[in-house]
Amino acid sequence: MSILRLSSIQPGFHEQLDTLLSRETDTGDDIQNLVADILRDVKQRGDAALCEYTSRFDHWECTTERLEISRDRMETAWNAISDKDRQALELAVERIRSYHEHQKQEDWEYTDDAGLTLGQRITPLDRVGLYVPGGKAAYPSSVLMNAIPAKVAGVEEIIMVVPTPAGELNDLVLAAAWVSGVQRAFSVGGAQAVAALAYGTETIPSVDKVVGPGNKFVAAAKRQVFGRCGIDMIAGPSEIAIIADGGHPEWLAADFLSQAEHDEAAQSIFISTDSDLIDAVDAAIEKHLETLPRADIARASAKAHGALIHVQSLKEAADVINIIAPEHLELAMDDPDSILPMIRHAGAIFLGHFVPEALGDFIAGPNHVLPTNRTARFSSPLGVYDFQKKSSVIRATRQAVRTVGPAAAHLAHREGLQAHALTIELRLADKD
């Protein structure tokens, strides 16, 4: 297999980098139109449409009575998994909760010189819908990373939807739902599940926000229901970028493949000032691919979207990273802090030789739901703040209105909004 090699000093480097990054991650009109039809149908016909699509796509006889997965079934799953599974989930829950507790925001107020008291009030969302992927693989970590910040934020009700191909429930996913505090769960997936969460059906209540990753149909559905409810982000295929100035080639190659094994459309990029290290990592990638169970997927990803980039300096490496704006960034260096201040755009940053991206995926504590496809330029990891909203608070005394009211009334008149101005002028004229 030949992985793309780039050098920052070769002609047309930035054009080649742009081409590398321009993966087709959006959905075409055919998918958008199909999803629009499904959303409309579920909105109009509720459970009947939801079950029809579930039976068709997941190949089991869906009925309204079989849609919901009870809390008792989640508890049964928790008791059915191994002790090692439970211990790992409990440790992950503890660490994820502890990290997200630090993100909690508080109400605040201050009184200014004019006499107005101004502030902000933080309130949680009432109900959120958590989409958990199913099918080829089970992702209990996705349950934890979405449900726990919602619980920390104070969300009253967390509803999970998860596809169940052939009607099979995954005990590890249900156990994660149990231990993270999911109150209700339903065995549906795809665009029809997003429709149910956004619009509500006879069985599934509508939610204020839909969070969680999914395939291109789920992504298209989230895009289309935005406005009816909130969404976290439009997630694309996974990404990793690695800057290394030394270290074990076998470690670095494994880190490169950790995202490539997710999906043929995933992207892995290795960057170094050391051409010999690049050669060694390339060889180690080939060696790992001889034994990895998901080697076919990883090889396809690396060949289509991977790159090994030689740069002339760490400053140049940082510049390349700020163009890529990767979902995951590993600074596999003896002194990662020397380059950290130069990094402006990355979803999650892993510092040093002993913190592979996989540590963040499962157990470190920070959220693994991260911006992809260069959206780290303007968005952040999922967090407690995604499950809260802010309200402005304004208090004013009579004297405060006399101080700032004339200017407000003037601006209202200038915008042609005389009733607005009148509300202030009446108060200014009051002598009592």
Q: What is the pLDDT of residues 85-132, one digit of tens each?
A: 999 999 999 999 999 999 999 999 999 999 999 999 999 999 999 999
CB-count exposure of residue 251 (10 Å: 0-12, 13-18, 19+): middle
Burial 220-233 (b: 16+ CB within 10 A, else e): bbbebbeeebbbbb
410 is catalytic: no
Evaluate whether 147 touches 93 at the Cβ level (below 8 Å).
Answer: no
Q: Give the C-alpha separation, 324 to 367, whole Å.
A: 20
H/E segment holding residue 348: strand 348-351
Evaluate whether 270 touches 308 at the Cβ level (below 8 Å).
Answer: yes
Evaluate whether 272 touches 278 at the Cβ level (below 8 Å).
Answer: yes
Q: Does residue 137 have a pLDDT over 90? A: no
Catalytic hit among 310, 328, 353, 368: 328
328 is catalytic: yes
The pLDDT score that the predictor gives to residue 430 is 86
Residue 59: what are its φ and ψ, rounded to 5°?
65, 50
| Residues β-bridged to residue 301 | none
Q: Does residue 77 have a pLDDT over 70? A: yes
Catalytic hit among 239, 261, 327, 330: 327
Q: Please tell me whether residue 131 adopts helix, strand or coil conformation.
A: strand
Taking residues 56-83, report their average pLDDT. Answer: 96
Task: Tell which residue, 8, 122, 133, has the closest CA to residue 386.
Answer: 122
* Contact residues for 44 (Cβ-Cβ < 8 A; gap 6+): none
Q: Give the C-alpha separation, 66 to 298, whole Å.
A: 37
* pLDDT tens digit sequence for 203-226: 999 999 999 998 899 999 999 999
Q: Does residue 53 have a pLDDT over 70? A: yes
Taking residues 367-396, report their average pLDDT. Answer: 97
Q: Give the C-alpha separation, 424 to 430, whole Å.
A: 10
Task: Tell which residue, 366, 315, 364, has the closest CA to residue 341.
Answer: 315
Q: Give the C-alpha separation, 134 to 121, whole Å.
A: 37
Task: Tell which residue, 166, 158, 140, has the closest CA to residue 54.
Answer: 166
The pLDDT score that the predictor gives to residue 406 is 97
CA distance between the termini of the chain: 85
DSSP state at residue 330: E
Evaluate whether 115 touches 396 at the Cβ level (below 8 Å).
Answer: yes
CA dihedral 50, 54, 56, 60 (to 10 degrees): -130
Task: Tell which residue, 120, 125, 124, has the closest CA to residue 106.
Answer: 120
> Quick one: pLDDT band at residue 138, thresholds 50, 70, 90?
confident
DSSP state at residue 226: B
DSSP strands (E only) in 206-342: 209-211, 230-231, 239-244, 267-272, 307-310, 328-332
Q: Give the C-alpha separation, 56 to 136, whole Å.
A: 17
Task: Tell which residue, 225, 262, 254, has the closest CA to residue 40.
Answer: 225
161 vs 136 pLDDT, higher one: 161
The pLDDT score that the predictor gives to residue 65 is 94
Task: Tell which residue, 149, 159, 35, 64, has the closest CA to residue 99.
Answer: 149
Q: Give the C-alpha separation, 221 to 32, whole Å.
A: 8
Taking residues 413-429, report their average pLDDT. Answer: 97
CB atoms within 10 A of CB 398: 13
* Contact residues for 280 (Cβ-Cβ < 8 A; gap 6+): 249
DSSP strands (E only) in 55-143: 68-69, 108-111, 117-124, 127-131
The pLDDT score that the predictor gives to residue 136 is 55
Structure-token pair, residue 118: 């101004």
Percentage of residues in the chain having pLDDT higher than 70:
98
* pLDDT tens digit sequence for 169-206: 999 999 999 999 999 999 999 999 999 999 999 999 99
Q: Does residue 287 have a pLDDT over 80? A: yes
User: Which domains, from first to last, does the chain contain?
Assistant: 4-24+236-364 (3.40.50.1980), 29-231 (3.40.50.1980), 397-429 (no CATH)
Evaluate whether 348 touches 368 at the Cβ level (below 8 Å).
Answer: yes
The pLDDT score that the predictor gives to residue 235 is 85
Q: Give the C-alpha separation, 239 to 328, whole Å.
A: 6
Structure-token pair, residue 44: 């109009």
Chain-wide mean pLDDT for the chain? 96
10-24, 145-159, 172-186, 190-204: which range is least confident on average?
A: 10-24
